[in-house]
Amino acid sequence: MSRNFYNNVYYFITVPTVRCFPFFDTIEKKSLILARLEKSKGLFRVEDLDFSIMSNHYHFVSYFRDGRIIPRLLQMVNGGSAYDLNRITDNKKPVWDEYFIYLIDKEVLLSKVRGYVVGNPVKHSEVKTLAELEKYPFSSFYTLTKKIDREQVLSWIQSVILLEDEKFLETLG
Residue 173 binned pLDDT confidence (cut-offs 50, 70, 90): very low
Q: Does pLDDT of 1 surpass 70?
A: no
Counted domains in the chain: 1
Query: Is 3 part of a structural domain of the chain?
Result: no
Domain that holds residue 66: 9-172
Question: How does pLDDT run across 97-140, given as a tens digit for each residue?
Answer: 999 999 999 988 999 999 999 999 999 999 988 889 999 999 99
Q: Does a structural domain hold residue 113?
A: yes
SS3 at position 123: helix
CATH at 168: 3.30.70.1290
CA distances from 32 to 27, 56, 101, 138 (A): 9, 13, 22, 11
In a domain, 2, yes or no: no
